[in-house]
Amino acid sequence: MNQLELLSPAGDLEIFKAVVNAGADAVYFGGDLFGARAYAKNFSIEEAKAAIDYAHIHGAKAYLTVNTLLKNTEIEKNLYEYLRKYVENGIDAFIVQDMGVFSFIRNYFPNTHIHVSTQMSTCTEFGAKLLSDMGASRVVTAREISLEEISDIHKTCPDLEIESFVHGALCVCYSGQCLMSSMIGGRSGNRGRCAQPCRLPYEAYMDGNHINKKGSFILSPKDFCTIEQLPEMIEAGVMSFKIEGRMKQLEYATGVVSVYRHYLDEYIYRGARNYSVKEEDIQKLLDFGNRSGFTNLYLTKHNGPEMMTFEAPSHTKKESSPVDYSEKKIKVDCTVSALLGKEFSIVFTDSEGRVGAFTGGEVQPAQKKAATKEDIERAVSGLGNTSFEIDHLNIDYDDGIFLPVSMIKNARRSAIMNLENSIMNSKTPTVNEFQELPSKKNFTSSNNCFVTVSTAEQLKAVAEFDFVNRVAVPQKLFEEAYGLLNGKEIYIYLPIVLRKDYKHKINIDERAAGVIAASMDELGLLSDMGYPKENIILDHRIYTFNNRSLDFFEQHGYTYNCIPYELSLKELNHRNNQNSQMIVYSRIPMMVTANCTVKNTVGCRKNNDTITFVDRKNQNMIVSCNCDYCYNVIYNSKKYIAFDMKNQLDNLGVKEYRIDFTVESAKETKNVLEGFNTVFNKNGSFELDEDFTRGHLKRGVE
């Protein structure tokens, strides 16, 4: 078993030092760029160096969050120098979401560890193995997965470190799949600027009936707390236990760390049989801060109403006993040699055998008052303002020697400084020379039309249009599509999220032209099946935000992709789009949730229901229940359409244009396809008879 690690967040240097002293084995924090908490205080490079040094001296590790999606200009102009400073200052690992950043680190800093962020929504052993094979040393699992699913990952990838959240706030959406804040207010969660619209009230209606009788906060989960399940998590294979909260206060961070430290040690020293959590310690955790109580439901169940707040999710906390986070001194052994006619020396040695030594001038005979052993001991032991304290002191000295106190103190300071350097510089990082990617190639966009459908009604409507070149359908519609579409290329659109209980459903008909894969889990499963990579389309949910990510996937055999929603036209002009689909019509999927609003309100019906959310501004969002794979998708209130931007889109050089049908009727489906034909094939114009959005094509995200 890997050594267990308690991993704490830190929003500033004071909290960083405090949580190390409260018992954290490792600390994650954000720098001033590319972290998923853009509105947190975050660390300057000087503060980060001090934090990393402090961690290493105290036997802890430091991880930097680089867990956002990056644009081409950010990667090519800023990323190398930014990461290089952290690598040279000894950072232990980077936490990463973007596969372009992933490949960048592998290329330029090859012996720096990469932890794949929970933003990658890794749910299965297939995704974990794929990421491990690509060079990840650790996977941070999706918050939604169970102990059984974690165990499957560990059994398949025994050498891959597994990090899982154990305490703190829960997102209702699978991490990395949320576009709600981005589309509603322009603050992208994938860029570290989430405005948390999930914590707002929504009214839910099904078949015209108001269904959220328990309360309006139907997208707000309670806080996660797994203190009672630590033994089961350890036995499932979790190695790193992650506390959420880089924007929380010092009292919260140190308090939660201290409780989890106590119980991890209880398990380590006493085992699972004697493991028992005191009620008073659970109360402590509640007092440090909670959002309408705690839940641990995901560890054993897929979803359930008992984990939602339903009422206003105020984060409550109470006065609690202060936690001792005074500095825990590092014990060292000290050897002093003060022999007449020989060089004076001081040597400090820590528990791992690392040495800090200083050798001074030749020891002279005393002319007046001689130095005593007590004089030497007092001068050497003055380590009060350092991180060390002497455990064993050995002084080898001669009587009648001249040894000024100032000389001993200076030698002590130099030896301690050398010990610190020995601890902090125990690893030599590899830094390769940066090479900028060549600029994008210029192509002209094709007017080929690729359509995805969700229902049989939509499929029948699409069959009437000859200009549609390729069609993607859910697996359950493939047989009907094959008989209806008269030789068109038919792809299978895999589910948005793949979980353990549903992976047996994935069977690719050999007559299919290919598949659309929506996650790294599905890419891993397809690889395990031996499915040809050239027949796989990377959905927009497998983010190819920049050319580094495109190159990385191409190097691994994946050349066909779909452009993500959050890039602007200006940014797309810097992207290599020749193997990319460009979505020009859809209902933008803003959230994908393991929790089901129908189950949480009226009870599970397994009926693939469609319901409606109404927000504070009276906007209607359609929610589709996918009961075949047990998740909900929340769609934007406005349709996304870019037909009127055809001239600008033509300059992007895309492989084909794509239309996604989700909740449309047959009539709506036909209207959209007729509009596409008019604009893209006949150079005419098309106007939608309702309010719509162009997404981020014009405004982009920060």
Q: What is the DSSP letter of 676?
A: H
Contact 475, 491 (CB under 8 A): no
For residue 2, the model assigns a pLDDT of 62
Question: Tokens representing 96?
Answer: 């990463």
Q: Which residues of 533-562 are buried (b: 16+ CB within 10 A; e: fewer)?
A: beebbbbbbbbbbbbbbbbbbeebebbbbb
> pLDDT tens for residues 278-319?
999 999 999 999 999 999 999 999 999 999 999 988 777 787
Degrees (nearest 5) of the Cα angle 66, 70, 71?
160
Q: Which residues of 513-529 are buried (b: 16+ CB within 10 A; e: fewer)?
A: ebbbbbbbbbbbbbbee
Question: Tokens representing 380?
Answer: 């050497």
Longest Cα–Cα distance of the chain, Å, equals 110
Specify the pTM: 0.94
d(CA 536, CA 521): 13
DSSP H or E run through 161: strand 161-168
Show Cβ contacts of residue 642 under 8 Å, excluding neighbours closer than 6 positions.
583, 584, 585, 649, 694, 695, 697
Per-run averaged pLDDT (10 residues), the chain, 702 residues: 88 96 97 70 91 95 96 94 96 98 98 97 98 98 98 98 97 95 92 92 96 95 97 98 92 96 94 92 94 96 96 79 88 96 96 93 91 95 93 96 93 96 86 89 88 98 96 97 94 97 94 98 98 98 97 98 97 95 97 97 95 95 97 96 94 96 97 96 85 90 84
d(CA 280, CA 173): 32
Contact 491, 470 (CB under 8 A): yes
d(CA 560, CA 575): 14
For residue 111, the model assigns a pLDDT of 95
Go through the domains of the chain in sequence order and give each one's CATH number. Answer: 5-184+224-315 (3.20.20.70), 330-424 (no CATH), 449-584+649-682 (3.20.20.60)
Contact 669, 658 (CB under 8 A): no
SS3 at position 449: strand
CA-atom Rg of the chain in angstroms:
29
Percentage of the chain beyond pLDDT 70 is: 99
d(CA 581, CA 562): 4
Q: Is 489 left (phi over 0), alpha (psi -120 to 50) or beta?
A: beta
Q: What is the DSSP letter of 211?
A: -
DSSP labels, 65-109: EE-S---HHHIIIIIHHHHHHHHHTT--EEEE--HHHHHHHHHHS
> Among 623, 620, 635, which Cα is nearest to 585's?
635
Question: Tokens representing 633?
Answer: 């998708």
Q: What is the DSSP letter of 679?
A: I
